[in-house]
Structure 1
Amino acid sequence: MRIEAIGMSSCLGPAVTACAAFRAGITRQQPSEAVTTFVPGDSEAQPVNVCAIPGITLGFSGVGRLVAITEDALGDLGAKTSLADLGREAGVFLALPDFADPGVAPQVRVATQEALGRQVLGRALAGQGVSWPEDRWRFFTGGSAGFALALAAARQELVRRTFDVVVVGGVDSLVDPEHLRFLLAERRLKSADNPVGLLAGEAGALLVLRKHSSGGISGMTPRVELLAVHTSVEQRALGAGAMPDGGALATCVQEVLRACPDQDVAFICDLNGEQRRAWEWGSALVRLKSLVPSLGDSPAWVPATGFGDVGAAMGAVGACLAVRAFERRHAPAHQLVIASQSDSGERAAFVLTAAGAPHAGGSR
């Protein structure tokens, strides 16, 4: 299954610009205009830095902010392929943040997600002046693993030939003031007195996949292909104070590696500055290294260093980074594995490669 086009909205710009900026180590942090914090011993409020998208999200919050991000990502995608043509044939699989109240019944959660998705995607498409059939829309939660869940479902529908082409993406914002205050109260934000916190970000990224294709993005080679995707649940992530042992995450990576023709692998991982994720990723690497010793020395990219923690958009952003790395021939390995660690327990991995493309190596 080949990736034909990508589109992105991020603090570093659209897809091509953002991926180049990430490789160059460029960051774009700014103080939140709505949220500050007090460090013990200080008499003045300290800023909370975020990775906000310049311009397009200014003045928006909640659903409106997601709509603005999605519309911007669609605009970038539309610069590479016809949105009107996509609408006539594509299924849409979109990962979004979970807006349902904790503890609600599963059917209520599903209904809430469906309503949110239709509102976000419908308004974003209207902003681009196009209309896609709503019966082809599918929406997913699952935190940073949500994109992989959407990707797995889309892949299944391509195999069944329900669709010949699909649009798969993720959209999220942790920069919204209400969410920032929640993260601050939970002591999860990076600050002067909490160096192991996350840097809140926001992004939207979309990929067009087709089971059979005549070329890569914009007719360029190499052709980037999805080899495998696997999802699981880490039970130890759900208890208060529990520390995941990396078992579920390692299983996801191990399963997608079975589809790889060799063990020349690099990782795009879901580290965000928090100790729990670092502990779990390290534990997963120990398990993987016991099976394939070379994996312990595999290069790893961390999207959060450039984009901040982008929640449900993480997997899609990672996929865009991989696609551009293969396109520009600076991928550090023949296969790039994108791994996800969700706060709600979902774990996922998927692997991309480029048919017949040599890699140039490099740290980014």
Structure 2
Amino acid sequence: MKPSDSLRAECPPGTIAVTGLGMTSSLGLTAVASCAAARAGVTHWAPLEIEEADVKRLKSVPLKGHAARGYTDGFTGVGRLLRLADGALADVLEDARLKPADMSRTGVFLCVAGDLYARVRSESVRHEEGVTPELADALEEEAAEARKEARAHVGRRLLPQLLKLHGLGIPPGAQDYFAGGAASFTTALAKALELLRGRVVDRCLVGGVDSLVEGAALEDVYEMGLVRTPESAVGFFPGEAAAWVLLERADAARARNAAALAWLGNVAVEREAFHRFSGDVPLGAALLRAVTSCCSGGKPEETGLVLANLNGDEWRARELGLALSEMKDAGLPADAPLWSPPASFGEVGAATGAVSACMAVRGFARGYAGASSALVLLLADDEARGAFLLHDAKAS
């Protein structure tokens, strides 16, 4: 998608059902446990591998984050992502009670982290070193090749091994990655809706996995000053999670007697012309366009819950605040209670959309959502902004 491009997938309630959830996080190894802990206000802190000076205590202390301790210990890189995604996939398959015969017409779409942080950090390091333009070009070419190889490594290992672990024979045309920030989940949803409405598949597993608590991912966000530290009250706490939602056409769900947990509504993706590190001021324009497109034709007063991934970053809070102000003036949902998944799980990047969906659907199931519809807003440090609607199946 180009900066001017937009994507909207219209999905009337009652056509595409959410029939299963799965999650692995710092708060639990299932969607039920994770969302119940988040609802209760539980947080599970873990010391991270980078230490920061604490002036008040006159010593170095480890950064705090939300790691799935005891579950991902000893795993790094792609292996850690596979561990997280594997647990969440096992959870959704059990929750949805899918049989092997059901998998022949199932799509799988997984959101993974993009390379924005690595790319921007690489550029900033070369600028600080004051290298010549020729050397800078050579270093950038080398760094770009390394990032390309890292993406290829994820592609070769993550989904193929994940599907193999569960004995799932998914056709190549019905599986794909979506690399980027939190809003990549809305792009994956739109792709799933395209295949479902075209009857290419009967159901789609759409998920996300990310980990910012170790290795190069943690180093990048720390060195760029994005992480909360003892000396900085602004920034996010790194987290890690994987989550999946199972989407099915209503007729396919009825054919296997699957219960609808929720109905998926409209999905919209818009893009800004800049990213978090470009120096531009966030005005919430792309997010507003996504919400307007997502909510068009509906009744805004019925959307009594908003989920937005505020994570402690001032840049993101400013953008959401401006967007909410414009939404209110436009008669869009703006005064509803606001849930922020990072408050419970930390910043989980590409997993944010799926985690947010699980929280909303569990809120419907347990009756504490306080609304029959939820609007999920996905802000990101890259250019993409997303929004999608979920409707309580019991209410309809």
TM-score (norm 2): 0.82
- The aligned residue for residue 40 of structure 2 is 24
Q: Give, in angstroms, the shift of residue 220 of structure 1.
A: 4.7
- The aligned residue for residue 88 of structure 1 is 104
- The aligned residue for residue 88 of structure 2 is 73
Q: Give, in angstroms, the shift of residue 84 of structure 1.
A: 2.8
Q: Give, in angstroms, the shift of residue 212 of structure 1.
A: 1.8
What percent of counterpart residues are identical? Answer: 33
Per the alignment, in what secondary structure is the counterpart of residue 170 of structure 1?
A: strand
Residue 165 (structure 1) aligned with residue 203 (structure 2): yes
Could you report, residue by residue, the CA deviation over 1:158-189 in whole angstroms, capped at 9, with x for unpaired residues? 12222111111111111123222222211111
Could you report, residue by residue, the CA deviation over 1:244-299 in whole angstroms, capped at 9, with x for unpaired residues? 10111011112111243452222110111100000000000010011117x33211
Given the superposition, is the C-alpha separation of residues 11 and 86 from structure 1 closer, same or farther in structure 2, using an over 3 Å criterion?
farther
- The aligned residue for residue 55 of structure 1 is 70
- The aligned residue for residue 342 of structure 1 is 380
Letter in 2 for 1:15: A
Per the alignment, in what secondary structure is the counterpart of residue 271 of structure 1?
A: coil
* Alpha carbons 1:224, 1:352 under 8 Å: kept: yes
Structure 1 segment 144-163 matched on structure 2, within 5 A: 144-163=182-201
Per the alignment, in what secondary structure is the counterpart of residue 163 of structure 2?
A: helix
Given the superposition, is the C-alpha separation of residues 301 and 109 from structure 1 closer, same or farther in structure 2, using an over 3 Å criterion?
same
Given the superposition, is the C-alpha separation of residues 82 and 146 from structure 1 closer, same or farther in structure 2, using an over 3 Å criterion?
same
* Alpha carbons 2:19, 2:259 under 8 Å: kept: no
Could you report, residue by residue, the CA deviation over 1:31-69 in whole angstroms, capped at 9, with x for unpaired residues? 11x221124576421120110112221111111111111
Q: Give, in angstroms, the shift of residue 196 of structure 1.
A: 0.9
**Larger deviation: 102-111 or 167-176?**
102-111
Residue 12 (structure 1) aligned with residue 27 (structure 2): yes
* Alpha carbons 1:8, 1:317 under 8 Å: kept: yes
In structure 2, what is the Cα distance between the partners aligned to 1:48 and 1:329?
A: 36
Could you report, residue by residue, the CA deviation over 1:332-355 in whole angstroms, capped at 9, with x for unpaired residues? 222101111111111000000024
- The aligned residue for residue 301 of structure 1 is 339
* Alpha carbons 1:227, 1:260 under 8 Å: kept: no
Structure 1 segment 240-319 matched on structure 2, within 5 A: 240-265=278-303, 266-292=305-331, 295-319=333-357
Q: Give, in angstroms, the shift of residue 229 of structure 1.
A: 0.4
**Larger deviation: 51-60 or 196-205?**
51-60
Given the superposition, is the C-alpha separation of residues 291 and 76 from structure 1 closer, same or farther in structure 2, using an over 3 Å criterion?
same
RMSD of Structure 2 on Structure 1 (CA):
2.7
TM-score (norm 1): 0.89
* Alpha carbons 1:236, 1:245 under 8 Å: kept: no
Which of 1 and 2 has higher RCO (CA within 8 Å, sep 6+)? 2
Q: Which has the larger radius of gyration?
A: 2
Q: Give, in angstroms, the shift of residue 140 of structure 1.
A: 0.5
* Alpha carbons 1:4, 1:215 under 8 Å: kept: no
Q: Give, in angstroms, the shift of residue 25 of structure 1.
A: 0.7
